[in-house]
Amino acid sequence: MIDELRCNQCGKPVHAKHETLCHRCKNLKGYHDEVKGLQMYRIAKYQERIKEFENHEHIKSLRSEIGILRMMLEEKFNSLNGTTDQESNHNLILAMPLIADHIIKIEKLVKSCNTIEMQLGQYLDKGTVIQIANEIVNVVDSYVEDETIKEKISDEIIQIIERSEPNLK
């Protein structure tokens, strides 16, 4: 009979036979239920926006985030200017841990971006680009008979590839 009149949580006495929690534990349970309810509300509130991000085709690329991080790094460097070279150098030395951390974050994000693009088939390597260029030249060859024009078109395509080469892996 004594066990029936004790709180299931803390063991303190309860005021009625049908109650399983004391006043303190009831209040704590109500608080925890309220907090949990608020958390569920917050999750539900953002769930629709999260689904928009999940399904949006442009968000599967991290290029915007890379650009933002690079701009932040540039701003950090711009903010280091002192009135003298010595002051600027001192500011740079003090900021090096933050700058190094920022560079590592950019590197990780670039690697993640490349991985995602490769998995989604959005990544062209140099060999693929050269193969596409050869096929374009073959199409031009089949329609253009003048050899000098064919040569100029081929040269321009090669120049385009060479200008883009730093972006090709």
CA 97 to each of CA 28, 58, 82, 110, 118: distance values in angstroms, whole numbers, following the listed order: 44, 33, 18, 20, 32
More confident call, 77 vs 48:
77
Task: Say if residue 1's pLDDT is above 50.
Answer: no
Condensed to tens digits (0 to 9), the pLDDT of residues 125-160 reads 778 888 888 888 889 888 988 889 888 888 888 888
* Rounded (10°) angle between helices 126-143 and 147-164: 160
Rounded CA separation 34/54 (Å): 29
Express each pLDDT in 94-121 by its tens digit. Answer: 999 999 999 999 999 989 888 887 787 7
- pLDDT score of 45 more than 70: no
Joined tokens for residue 158: 């090669």
Q: Could you state, in order of their start, the residue ranges of all structural domains in the chain?
A: 1-55, 60-123, 124-169
Mean pLDDT of the chain, nearest integer: 78
